[in-house]
Amino acid sequence: MDHEENKRTMVQLAAKMGIPITEKIEQLALLKFHEVKIIDLLPEMMIMIRSLFSEGEYTYHRKPITVIENGLLISFQNVFNDGNEDDGKKGHANNFEHERAHVRIVPLHLESEVRFSKQSHIKQITILIEAACLKQFLGKEQKKFIDLFVIEKTFWIDDFMSPEMAVLVDKIVNFSSEIPLPDFYYRLKSLELLYLLFKNLSKRETVSQHNMTSKDIEAIYRVRNAMVASLDKPLPVKELVQLSGMNELKLRKFFEQVFGKGLYSYFQHIRMQEAARLLKEEQLSVSEAGYKLGFSNLSHFGRLFEAHVGVKPKKWSSKT
């Protein structure tokens, strides 16, 4: 499909999902759609593969999705290379949210502000799934995730992408439509992707999903983004508390609820993710990467890197 046809597909999809965007049609001109693929498996599931580039700031208020009465939106963000990487490279080099792959889970009834930053490249596989369907697949294990199925709750979960997910995503994105039974294929691979996600989530410490407002969610991301912008030194908790507008107990509770890690643990994890990128993509030496991220003790840097990545920094650098 060309850009205009992809845009029409996106507008039609939004209308079907119950979140029409026709009133934002002029702003849509800022979005350059490389790919939009819809796999309609309703009433149980809908899968969307989307790649687009935003040429300017674009925000719209997303209303509750009504195409499935009670379900979850699970979005695998920035998870594949579609051959258009140069479009957003300049604009998002310092923007962690656009640079790093991650997974987001929200209830379909959640209203939210969807923001596209200028010069950003968005690549997603999004799965809408009926709660009853997901429960069926989880079987007896559903009790571990019971809070996800309480329709009255508004929650937000953000998780890291695993290498296993990245490999599977590549298979889904590059699937040839000439293969027989394509809907069957997409259903199976999407469920496999969900299996890997919930396998990761099951490793989290048990945390009750407290009801969150949109302001709570925005506050948590302000804190996360501030941490990401200061990877060479941890920000004082007092500063993070002030930035969030919450008391410290509430901040810690909601942060761990969303990201599955405490403030300092999350900071060290994303710090090591950045270290891995610097070593592999920018080909910095171990000492250069360590010093850039604020480490004066390279032995400590090496031990921390191995604990989070699984191999020593030098071995990681030499891996192809």
pLDDT, tens digit only, all 320 positions of the chain = 576 787 788 777 777 777 766 655 667 778 888 888 899 999 999 999 988 888 888 777 788 899 998 999 999 987 555 556 555 444 443 444 345 688 999 999 988 877 778 888 888 999 999 999 999 999 999 998 988 898 778 889 999 888 888 889 888 888 776 788 889 999 999 999 999 999 999 988 877 778 898 899 999 999 999 999 999 999 999 999 999 999 999 999 999 999 999 999 999 999 998 999 899 888 999 999 999 999 999 999 999 999 988 899 999 988 74
The number of beta carbons lying within 10 Å of the beta carbon of residue 306 is 15
Strand (E) or helix (H) holding 295: none
pLDDT score at 88: 46
* Cα 201 from Cα 54, distance rounded (Å): 31
Tokens read off for 35: 């790919």
Angle at 117 between CA 113 and CA 123, to 5 degrees: 90
- Domains (range + CATH), the chain: 3-201 (2.60.120), 214-318 (1.10.10.60)
pLDDT score at 95: 40
pLDDT score at 77: 84
**Total residues belonging to the chain:** 320
pLDDT score at 92: 40
pLDDT score at 90: 44
Phi-psi label, residue 148: left if phi above 0, alpha if psi -120 to 50, beta otherwise: alpha
pLDDT score at 97: 39
Q: How far is Cα of residue 246 from the mean position of the Cα atoms in its chain? A: 24
The number of beta carbons lying within 10 Å of the beta carbon of residue 176 is 7
By three-state DSSP, how is residue 60 classified? Answer: strand
* Distances from the Cα of 98 to the Cα of 52, 87, 253, 287, 299, angstroms: 12, 13, 25, 27, 31
pLDDT score at 274: 92
DSSP output for 77-109:
ES----S-THHHHHHHTT-HHHHS-EEEEEETT
* Cα 281 from Cα 189, distance rounded (Å): 29
Q: In sequence order, what E strands does 108-250 have?
A: 112-116, 120-130, 157-160
pLDDT score at 19: 72
* Cα 221 from Cα 258, distance rounded (Å): 10
Angle at 45 between CA 105 and CA 35, to 5 degrees: 80
By three-state DSSP, how is residue 303 classified? Answer: helix
pLDDT score at 285: 93
* Cα 43 from Cα 24, distance rounded (Å): 27
pLDDT score at 204: 87
By three-state DSSP, how is residue 46 classified? Answer: strand
Can you give the pTM of this predicted structure?
A: 0.85
Query: Greatest CA span in the chain, whole angstroms?
Result: 58
C-beta of residue 83 within 8 angstroms of C-beta of residue 158? no
Angle at 242 between CA 237 and CA 243, to 5 degrees: 95
C-beta of residue 226 within 8 angstroms of C-beta of residue 234? no
